[in-house]
Amino acid sequence: MNTASFVDRHIENTAADWWSRLRDPALPEQAMLQWSDWLEADKRHAAAFDRACDLAESATAMDSATREAFVARYVPPTPHRRSPPRLALSLAAGVAIVVLGAGLYVGLRPAGTESTRQYASERAGHRDIALPDGSSIELGGATSITARYGRDERAVDLEAGEAFFRVAHAERPFVVTAGPLRIRDLGTAFNVRRTGNRVTVAVTEGRVRVSPSATDGDAATVELGAGREVSFDPETQAMRILDVTPASATAWRGHRLEFVNEPLASVVENVNRYSARPIRLADADLGRLTFTGTVEVDTIDSWVSALPRVFPVRVDSYADRLELARQTSMTRSQKPR
């Protein structure tokens, strides 16, 4: 085995060992700090820990032969030792914990410190993230988040894009900050889309509490149940509440983008997270036009080509972009029947 392979295997072994150790509620705080320091010491450490979490989650569906192979991935057999190595025991115990349904609780840093991880998806991409507490996040195209897990709160910042959250129950609150909005989970599955400071939150299960992130108290707080959606307009500072079906709330997971009375500028920005050629507005005033409808991410060029039928625009096509300019001609295509 060459040096690089030995180092990689050692990192995976250590990640698996931490995966198991962190499930002990009595783990000393000093050990938690050591885990955090290990994660931050090398970007390969965090990636290996993610792989250990993913593999451990999949253990619930493993048969005995597959589970043995899973353990062997981290700790090859050592025939010259009478007793199994510590890493094999710890990982096997971790697998047993998953199989018995004990969950994926991970000890965290002491109060005042936190574990921070950043995640992102590519344009037109889709990424599934398994968080260490058993919660999960699905990222839509060109989406970026930062997860900050502390002793008192599980916090996620949605910097841009769209994400679907399925939150595991825990005493520590789960809070998503998306620009001007703060979304607190109340035992829930929900979707958040952020376009600059325009934010839409849709609940598919349970309830969430939504409030402006800069507001103290509950004066501007709204509580949403399943089948409800709130949209925050940064220009009017108003929150509009609508009924929504689960399929519509997470349409992007089915390769569709759905909009209701949304400014064209916001629509274009969201479509650009999936478009092979960026769409640009040559006239900023066009961005104030409102659009209601569905955009199929696999046929974006066709959607753009149809816009002159409903808006006073023309489409100029370039090798690197599509541009929407104001239509100055008196002749426009007829609206579709």
Cα dihedral sign, 325-328-333-334: positive
Instruction: Find the range with the poorest average confidence among 77-81, 92-96, 136-140.
Output: 92-96
When divided into structural domains, the chain yields a total of 3
Section 24-44 average pLDDT? 73
Do 140 and 242 lie in one domain? The reply is: yes
pLDDT at 259: 95
Do 82 and 120 lie in one domain? The reply is: no
Do 221 and 259 lie in one domain? The reply is: no
Section 177-203 average pLDDT? 95
End-of-domain residue from the set 99, 131, 154: 99
Do 75 and 141 lie in one domain? The reply is: no
Tens digit of each residue's pLDDT (9 = 90 or more) over 108-139:
334 444 578 899 999 999 999 988 788 999 99
- Smallest CA-to-CA distance from 272 within 119, 140, 146, 137 is with 140
What CATH number is associated with residue 292?
A: 3.55.50.30
Do 149 and 205 lie in one domain? The reply is: yes
45 or 274, which is more confident? Answer: 274
How does strand 228-233 pair with strand 279-281?
Answer: unpaired
pLDDT at 88 over 70: no
What CATH number is associated with residue 132?
A: 2.60.120.1440
Q: Is residue 169 domain-resident?
A: yes
Query: How many residues in total does the chain contain?
Result: 337
Do 38 and 75 lie in one domain? The reply is: yes
Do 122 and 242 lie in one domain? The reply is: yes
pLDDT at 336: 38
Q: Is residue 183 domain-resident?
A: yes
pTM of the model: 0.67
Token pair for 96: 């047993």
pLDDT at 330 over 60: no
Token pair for 85: 């190595």
Do 121 and 62 lie in one domain? The reply is: no
Q: Is residue 331 domain-resident?
A: no
Do 220 and 274 lie in one domain? The reply is: no
Instruction: Find the range with the poorest average confidence among 63-72, 83-92, 274-283.
Output: 83-92
pLDDT at 56 over 60: yes
End-of-domain residue from the set 65, 99, 133: 99
Q: Is residue 337 domain-resident?
A: no
pLDDT at 76 over 60: no
Tens digit of each residue's pLDDT (9 = 90 or more) over 253-298:
999 999 999 999 999 999 999 999 999 999 999 999 999 999 999 9
Do 27 and 95 lie in one domain? The reply is: yes
Q: Tell me the three-class secondary structure of the chain, residue by residue.
A: CCHHHHHHHHHHHHHHHHHHHCCCCCCCHHHHHHHHHHHHHCHHHHHHHHHHHHHHHHHHHCCHHHHHHHHHHHCCCCCCCCCCCHHHHHHHHHHHHHHCCCCCCCCCCCCCCEEEEEEECCCCCCEEEECCCCCEEEECCCCEEEEEEECCCEEEEEEEEEEEEECCCCCCCEEEEECCEEEEECCCEEEEEEECCEEEEEEEECEEEEEECCCCCCCCCEEEECCEEEEEECCCCEEEEEECCHHHHCHHHHCEEEEEEEEHHHHHHHHCCCCCCCEEECCHHHHHCEEEEEEEHHHHHHHHHHHHHCCCEEEEECCCCEEEEECCCCCCCCCCC
pLDDT at 22: 74
For the chain, give the mean pLDDT.
81
Section 191-215 average pLDDT? 93
Per the structure, the complete domain to which residue 181 belongs is given by 114-246
- Smallest CA-to-CA distance from 184 within 162, 161, 213, 159 is with 213
Do 81 and 164 lie in one domain? The reply is: no
pLDDT at 214: 75
Q: Is residue 295 domain-resident?
A: yes
Q: Is residue 336 domain-resident?
A: no
In this structure, the number of other CB atoms found within 10 A of the CB of residue 234 comes to: 14
Do 284 and 221 lie in one domain? The reply is: no
pLDDT at 213 over 60: yes
End-of-domain residue from the set 66, 99, 132: 99
Instruction: Find the range with the poorest average confidence among 37-41, 97-101, 223-227, 308-312.
Output: 97-101
CA dihedral 84, 104, 109, 17 (to 10 degrees): 20
pLDDT at 4: 65
Q: Is residue 104 domain-resident?
A: no
Question: Position of tokens 């220009």?
Answer: 235
Query: Quick one: pLDDT band at residue 84, thresholds 50, 70, 90?
Result: very low
Instruction: Find the range with the poorest average confidence among 19-23, 268-272, 312-316, 330-334.
Output: 330-334
Instruction: Find the range with the poorest average confidence among 41-50, 132-141, 203-212, 253-262.
Output: 41-50
Token pair for 58: 């999949």
Residues in a beta bridge with 263? 290
Q: Is residue 332 domain-resident?
A: no
